[in-house]
Amino acid sequence: MNKIYIYSLCALLLMLADPWIRAQGYTIDLGPEVQHADIAVGDINGSGLPDILITGQGGSDMLMNNGDSTFTASMDTKLATYANPVFEPDLADPTLIRAEDGWFYAYGTENTWPEGHRVTPIIKSKDLVNWQYVGQAFTVKPNWKPGYIWAPSIHRLDGLYYLYYSNSTWGDENPGIGLALAENPEGPFTDRGMLLDTRSTGVINSIDPYLFNENGEHFLFWGSLGGGIYGIPLSSDGKRITGEKFQVAGNSFEGVYIHQRDDTYYIFLSTGSCCDGASSTYRVVVGRSENLEGPYLTKNGSDLMDYNDMWWAPAVDNIDGVIIKSNDPVAGPGHNAQIVTDDRGDDWFIYHAILKSNPLLPGGATRRPLFIDRIDWKNGWPEINRGTGPGMQEQQAPFFNQ
């Protein structure tokens, strides 16, 4: 399927008296609530011809190319829509993978839901929108140190599912990262114990792992507030440290995720307060580099290594490169999972955020449901909802051939 190119029609729609668009004699009614619309041109149905997709807040439809300079409006193939959050009550610090069975599996931080305590909860979906609870990754909680199981990172290597996870408590002087393996994405995962900790690496706050694979080489990236963001080579089986650590970002960040697009590496980092309920200041910053080990610069040229001790308000507002942060209905968006590309060529940003209208779990912990939003790439940089924060309107859903 060809890459779809997105063109904003905001200005055009503002000039129109009525919210409709005409194409080859067809009128596409996007509804009375349209505030903007996008047109996507690409081979939607696999015919080899450029089709047209029109999407607006009030609705969407497809124009299928007839091959003779005319288009047929596919009124019987209305695209699915969704509204955030896509899963409640909580899936903090999400990580996800599309397994061999075609399902997406997402894993989250340990927390107490209204239905009971969850150690590394697992949910699954076919479309990133409709999720169902599966269970917990562990039948026996890892106990190589006292703590909570936070911020897992799921991957598939050598026919097995690898779950790297944080083991820590608030104020822990020696947090660490462990590894568990399973044959099935639903588990149960067998714990292999500690991979690294603060004492073994010298990195304060050694949590929040993410595994990056390139040409058969594995690198574990990790780190959190106060310690900095680091990478380190792992063995070919992903079970052991084999090299020296290197730093890629300052200590104002956590929740590292690295995404490769063409020949460029994009680093996504969270900063601010994650867990202050409706007052949380969490947000996501992005930088890019031509080299995996950096330097990672923001769109404005700021080096992410230069941001240290700035995650508390108001200093956090001076960190450059923010692509998503709080808005009126939602606080603290952040700690994104892996970016997913759907079968239409759209990229999707998966993360947790806090509904200000319902910010706490029954035990008093911050309630962090699962959100998704489409990424638009503009001049080599990701953009989400034109910088307006998490999307709460009804919007076009990801598309996957089932």
pTM of the model as a whole: 0.84
Q: What is the CATH number of the domain that holds 147?
A: 2.115.10.20
Same domain, 250 and 298: yes
Domain of residue 23, residue span = 5-73
Q: By three-state DSSP, how is residue 386 classified? A: helix
Residues 62 and 85 in one domain: no
298 and 252 in a common domain: yes
Which of these, 122, 173, 121, lies nearest to 146 by C-alpha position?
173
Residue-wise pLDDT for 112-138, tens only, equals 999 999 999 999 999 999 999 999 999
Residues 270 and 378 in one domain: yes
Give residue-wise pLDDT tens across range 287-344.
Answer: 999 999 999 999 999 999 999 999 999 999 999 999 999 999 999 999 999 999 999 9
CA–CA separation, 316 and 307 (whole Å): 9
Query: Which tens digits make up the pLDDT trace of 50-59?
Result: 777 765 544 5
| Three-class DSSP category at 43 | coil
Same domain, 134 and 48: no
Specify whether 32 is located in the same domain as 169. no
Determine the pLDDT at residue 76. Answer: 47
Last residue of one domain, picked from the residues 44, 73, 102: 73
- Cα 41 from chain centre: 25
SS3 148: strand
Quote the CA–CA distance of 67 and 81 in Å, as a whole number. 29
Are 51 and 141 part of one and the same domain?
Answer: no
Judgement on whether residues 35 and 90 belong to the same structural domain of the protein: no
Is there a single domain that holds both residue 63 and residue 112? no
Pairwise CA distance, residues 227 & 254, whole Å: 9
How many domains does one find in the chain? 2
Report yes or no on 401 lying in a domain. no
| 156 lies in the same domain as 296 | yes
- For residue 172, being part of any structural domain is answered with yes
Whether residue 208 lies inside any domain: the answer is yes
55 plus 182 within the same structural domain: no
Q: Is residue 103 part of a domain?
A: yes
Is residue 310 in a domain?
yes
Minimum mean pLDDT among 66-80, 195-209, 371-385: which range? 66-80
Q: Does residue 402 lie in a domain region?
A: no
Task: Using the 3D structure, point to which of 18, 53, 73 is the last residue of a domain.
Answer: 73
Residue 159 lies in a domain: yes
Question: From edge to edge, which strands make up the β-sheet containing 5-8?
Answer: 5-8, 37-42, 51-56, 59-65, 71-73
Distance CA 354, CA 284 (A): 14
Same structural domain, 35 and 89: no
